[in-house]
Every structure is written in C-alpha cells, then in structure tokens.
C-alpha cells in the first residue's frame, strides 16, 4: 500500500500554513490551513520546528527583531506542552487572574510530547497518541498535579468503573510475543512467549495492556523452536538452567555501586552469553523505556525491569532488598485516554482559551474539533502562538524581553515575567546572559530520541489470528508493536471486533543496539540517524514489518488506511539526568531562577512523567510571586 495524494493533502507533507516541503506542487500551498491533529505523514518534530534553533546553537546565527509588539504581557510562557500550559493556568491562579499571557511554541501544534493523532478510517474516528501515553499512575499524584486533575475534571474513578477494558486481551486470547527477523536469526518467526523473557511480567507488560495471556509454553521448554543460532540456543539453555546468582558480597554501598556502573550486557557476557541475537532478545523488553540497548543499560535498571540472568536478593540488608524491589498492585497502567495525555493538554487549552470549542466536559473535549484560529486572537487575554522559536531572551529593569522567529519574521515582545517550559538545552543558547554554570547544566540535560508510528488499520483480523497484541521485535527496524489500548470514553468507543478499524503502534528507538556504553553517545548517534530518515523510508519499513509479522495470518497492505510517524529527535527527558555524584544535580542547576525568568518542563526535574511537568510548572510560577 502506498499513501495516496489524498492522504498527503490531508497533511502528510504540509509543515505549516502555506508551507510545503520542496518538490511538491505550488498548488498544495493554497490548501486551507491544516488541522494539526489530523495531519498524517511525518509529524512530531517536523521540518520547520528545529532549523532556527539549530542555526542558533550550531552555527551561531543571530536574529535581529524587525517587529515589536507594542502591548506588554504579564507573562510569556515558552513551550506549549503540559508544563507550559500548566504554568499559564497556574499564573492566573497564583499571580494575576486577569493576566495577559502569550504562550510560544516552535511546533505547529500544542501539547509538546503529549500530542494526538486523528484518523478518519472509512468514516470512523480513531485516535492515537503522538508521544506521552498515559497517566502513570494518577492515584500516586500529590500536590499541584493531583489538584490540577481534579480541577480539569479528571478522576481515576472513570477507569476504575471500566473505561479501560481490562478483559479485552483475555477475551481475544492476545499475548505478549516476540518476532524474530534479521541477520541475527535463522528465519523469520513469531512466538507467543514474550512474557517468559522476564522474571517480572507485570512490570514489562505495563506497556502492553492489562490482562494479556501468557501464551505458549514457557521459554525454557521451547528453546529448540526459537530461530536462534546454535550458540544462542546453547547459551540461553545454560542461562535458564543455572541458578540466578546472589549479589556480590560488597555490602549495601558496594552492591549499589556495582548495579549503577556495570551494564546488563557485560553481566550477561560474564555469564557466557555472547550471541548477538540472544543479547538483543534479552534486552528487548526495556529498550522502549530506556532508549538504548543492553550495552548501555545499567544492571540497576535491568534489575528493576526484572530482566533475566540477574541476582536474587541474596546477601544484602532488608533495607536494600526493599529498595530494589517494586511493589506490584495489579494493572496500574490503565489510566489512558484514547489520545494519550493530549486530553490533558486540550483541557488546559480549553480552560485558557474557551473560544477553541464549545466543549465543557472531559468527554466532550476528547472528541471536539478545536478551532485553531481561536488560539491567537488579539482580543483574547491568553494567546497561544505556534510555529514560533525563541532565539533571544534577557532581563530588563522592569521585566523581560523575548525575541522569537516565526516564518521569515523576528519579533520582540516584552513582559513582566517569563516561564521557560521547554528544552533546556536550547535555552543555553537563547539566554546568553545566564551564568556559565547554569548554561553548562542546561547543555547536560539529555532527551531520548524515539519514534511512535501510528498505523490506522481498517481491521485487525490478522493480528487476532496471530494472537499477539504486543510484540517485542529485537532484530527489526521497529523494536516493538502494540495494538491500541482498549479504552471507551464518553462518545468515543473502542471497537472490540477484529472486523472494525483500530490504530496500532510501531515504536523505534534509533540508538545503537551494540557497541555504545555511554547513553549520551547513544542518544547522539540515534538522533543523527533519526534526522536522516525520510517519511518514505518509514513507510516502507512499516509496510514491510507488518507484512512479515502478520502476513502469514492474513495481513494485506490494503489493511492500512493511514500512517502518522511521530519523530522525536529530542523526546522525553532522560531520568538519569538527576543522578547524584555532581556538585549539583543537573536539573536543579539548570532550573535556578534568573531575574524575572523561571524554568519549568520535565528538564527541570529529571523526570519524564506528566506529574513532574505539572509540579514544576507550579514551582516555577510560585517563584514569580516573590
């Protein structure tokens, strides 16, 4: 199947109003302004979102403002993700209920990493998520993030009352499987033994769906059927047959140092596992979480994920044993909207700019079509300006001035305050007067590159026949596959029948599988590879991998009704940015108040989750009250 010209006109290659990629007819530029959630093709960080920032950071370009907005704002918020939107919301709560607010974002849609993908599949609306999947886990939210959910009308009782169909996987006999293909394996094959790759299936399976069945016989009983090399089968059999070792006799501090410095693959190699196909297979369950392969994954992270071949509690104190273990309280990964956390972003925009829609409830906002022309109206107290990249900011005697580039214009705005809720790495270049130590900390913040390709399918009969709703793919271009989460919310219904349309996810972590032990180097290499991959390449790989996985059970290319590839070269904040051992934690050093400027986003906490984004917006606004 090839994406048609009609699909492209629905937004595949349109990067902004009246702006198309080179090589396409000028007639496309005259199309009506696109509706960002419905755009297909290459999304996420698209052309137009990064060139100005790269020119500033990598080439030292400067930008002189040619326009000045005459009316000052109370606050300019840089970044329209959940943290930036929360900061605008909290500013009106805590500083000035009548504040004039300008929100700037370099993308053509709001939400940051919490964006949504809309598909019209033969007349049926189907939603997907462009990044942030779920609220994990809102029952544990505290403080500002907990209060915000209540104020937005989000209560966990919705899911507790059955919005998430926890029996879906079991009713359809869907398991978590493994797909083998590529040079490491002797043939292409699909198994249903994915859960056997971990000692802690509930932990790894939280990214699949609640209630998945175990599938075929345990892995140890099926080694001869796996398409591993002879060496790989021998090594896997030996690993599973040997008793898992205890922790080394080093005391609690020594054990922790060992776990935090040794890598998972080095440990496996020390236990005789050298076959590359087996090493990739064993580390696959955590690659989408960590953002790199087993050569860079610490033993601590592998242990927390329950990966095979690691010690049992053994000779450690009860305190350390309790610290290393995670409590398991059932299916906690059910707090999911059909568009991921884009619903949270949309609710915030609806509160800040009521003119975007007539929706007044969470259920109505989910299916409402927002009026994007209402985001930036001159008479509105809160304005959200997209496709706007900040290139310079500095404190003034009575506030802050900010220069941003939109299209071919550089414009200057002034405000009493500014909250920067965006990628801190870019701010090290956009705010040159920051202290050198703070700029160094900002540059040290790392983000994980990744791709979420959402595939609109007219039916999922072939997937149901294969019996795998979530699949680890250690040798494939995309390392994991998942059917959409089975959620019914308001008027939005998740069709239970394999005969009906559905959205499926193919995820790619572009960092090298082997040979790189430094995460920062892995991210850099992955980011470069990602920026050099075209939509055409992604489309070819999607069609090829789905055909290889599900062709034997009836998949055909015409089953694909649409494709949105969410590319994130700078994806979610890497939590190891908060690792101790430096003079000051990276995230604390990078988020210190600077005059009339404060700093939010997940980079301000070293935590990629939604509650951290909200809580840091609360803290950043709170600093402006003093």
Instruction: Give the pLDDT of residue 264.
Output: 94
- Which residue in 286, 282, 289 sits closest to 240, CA to CA? 282
Give the separation between CA 31 and CA 10, rounded to whole angstroms: 10
> 3-state class of 309 per DSSP?
coil
pLDDT beneath 50, residues of the chain: 1-31, 195-196, 199-209, 326-330, 579-584
Backbone angles phi, psi at 298, to 5 degrees: -70, 160
CB contact at 8 A, 198 and 300: no
- Domain residue ranges of the chain, discontinuous segments joined by +: 51-110+388-446+575-623
- Which residue in 412, 396, 384, 387 sits closest to 102, CA to CA? 384
Give the separation between CA 84 and CA 390, rounded to whole angstroms: 14
By residue count, the chain amounts to 626
DSSP state of 307: B
Strands 73-78 and 409-420, how do they pair?
A: parallel
Instruction: Give the pLDDT of residue 517.
Output: 92
Instruction: Give the pLDDT of residue 7.
Output: 36
Instruction: Give the pLDDT of residue 325.
Output: 60
User: Which tens digit of pLDDT belongs to each residue from 161-205?
Assistant: 888 888 888 888 888 888 999 999 999 999 876 544 554 444 444
DSSP state of 574: P
Rounded-to-5 percentages of helix, strand, coil across the chain: 40, 20, 40
Give the separation between CA 461 and CA 445, rounded to whole angstroms: 44
Strands 468-472 and 175-180, how do they pair?
A: parallel
Give the separation between CA 122 and CA 108, rounded to whole angstroms: 26
Give the separation between CA 557 and CA 175, rounded to whole angstroms: 23
Instruction: Give the pLDDT of residue 250.
Output: 85
Give the separation between CA 540 and CA 401, rounded to whole angstroms: 46
Instruction: Give the pLDDT of residue 328.
Output: 43
Q: Which homologous superfamily is 51-110+388-446+575-623 in? A: FAD/NAD(P)-binding domain (3.50.50.60)
Tokens 């939005």 — which residue? 492
Instruction: Give the pLDDT of residue 568.
Output: 95
pTM: 0.90
Element (H, E) at 166: none
CB contact at 8 A, 75 and 95: yes
Instruction: Give the pLDDT of residue 201.
Output: 45
């Amino acid at each position: 199947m090839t994406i048609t010209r009609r699909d492209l006109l629905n937004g595949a290659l349109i990067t902004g109003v009246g702006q198309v990629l080179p090589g396409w007819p000028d007639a496309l530029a005259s199309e009506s302004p696109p509706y960002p959630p419905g755009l297909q093709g290459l999304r996420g960080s698209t052309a137009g979102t990064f060139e100005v920032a790269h020119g500033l950071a990598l080439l030292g370009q400067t930008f002189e403002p040619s326009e000045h907005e005459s009316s000052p704002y109370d606050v300019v918020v840089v970044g329209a993700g959940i943290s930036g939107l929360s900061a605008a919301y909290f500013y009106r709560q805590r500083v000035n209920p009548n504040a004039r607010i300008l929100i700037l974002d370099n993308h053509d849609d709001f939400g940051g990493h919490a964006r949504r993908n809309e598909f019209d599949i033969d007349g049926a609306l189907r939603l997907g998520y462009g990044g942030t999947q779920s609220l994990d886990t809102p029952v544990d939210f505290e403080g500002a993030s907990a209060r915000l959910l209540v104020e937005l009308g989000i209560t966990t009782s919705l899911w507790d009352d059955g919005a998430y169909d926890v029996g879906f996987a079991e009713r359809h006999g869907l398991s978590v499987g493994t797909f083998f293909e590529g040079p490491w394996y002797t043939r292409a094959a699909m198994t249903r033994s994915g859960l056997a790759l971990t000692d802690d299936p509930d932990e790894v399976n939280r990214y699949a769906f609640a209630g998945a069945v175990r599938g075929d016989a345990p892995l140890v009983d099926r080694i001869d059927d796996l398409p591993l090399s002879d060496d790989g089968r021998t090594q896997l059999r030996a690993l599973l047959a040997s008793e898992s070792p205890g922790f080394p006799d080093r005391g609690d501090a020594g054990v922790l140092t060992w776990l935090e410095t040794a890598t998972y693959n080095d440990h496996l190699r020390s236990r005789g596992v050298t076959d590359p196909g087996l090493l990739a297979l064993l580390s696959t369950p955590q690659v989408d979480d960590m953002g790199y392969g087993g050569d860079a994954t610490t033993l601590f992270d592998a242990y927390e994920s329950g990966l095979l071949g690691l010690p049992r509690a053994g000779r450690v104190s009860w305190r350390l044993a309790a610290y290393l273990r995670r409590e398991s309280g059932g299916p906690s990964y059910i707090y999911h909207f059909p568009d991921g956390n884009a619903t949270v972003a949309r609710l915030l925009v609806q509160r800040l700019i009521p003119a975007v829609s007539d929706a007044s409830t969470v259920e109505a906002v989910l299916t409402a079509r927002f009026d994007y022309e209402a985001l930036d109206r001159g008479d509105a107290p809160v304005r959200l300006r997209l496709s706007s990249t900040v290139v310079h900011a500095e404190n003034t005697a009575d506030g802050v001035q900010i220069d941003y580039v939109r299209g071919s214009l550089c414009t200057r705005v002034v405000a009493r305050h500014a909250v920067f809720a965006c990628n801190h790495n870019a701010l090290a270049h956009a705010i040159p007067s920051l202290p050198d130590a703070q700029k160094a900390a900002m540059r040290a913040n790392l983000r994980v590159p990744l791709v979420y390709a959402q595939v609109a399918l007219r039916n999922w009969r072939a997937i149901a026949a294969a019996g795998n709703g979530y699949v680890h793919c250690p040798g494939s271009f995309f390392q994991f596959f998942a059917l959409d989460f089975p959620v019914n919310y308001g008027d939005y219904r998740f069709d239970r029948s394999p005969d009906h349309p559905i959205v499926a996810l193919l995820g790619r972590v572009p960092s090298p599988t082997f040979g790189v032990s430094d995460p920062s180097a892995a991210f850099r290499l992955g980011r470069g590879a990602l920026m050099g991959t075209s939509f055409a390449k992604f489309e070819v790989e999607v069609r090829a991998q789905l055909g290889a996985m599900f062709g034997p059970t009836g998949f055909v290319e015409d089953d694909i009704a649409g494709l949105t590839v969410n590319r994130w070269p700078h994806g979610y904040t890497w939590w190891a940015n908060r690792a101790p051992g430096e003079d000051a934690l990276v995230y604390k050093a990078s988020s210190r108040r600077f005059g009339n400027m404060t700093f939010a986003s997940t980079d301000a906490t070293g935590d990629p989750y939604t509650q951290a984004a909200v809580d840091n917006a609360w803290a950043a606004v709170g600093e402006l009250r003093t």
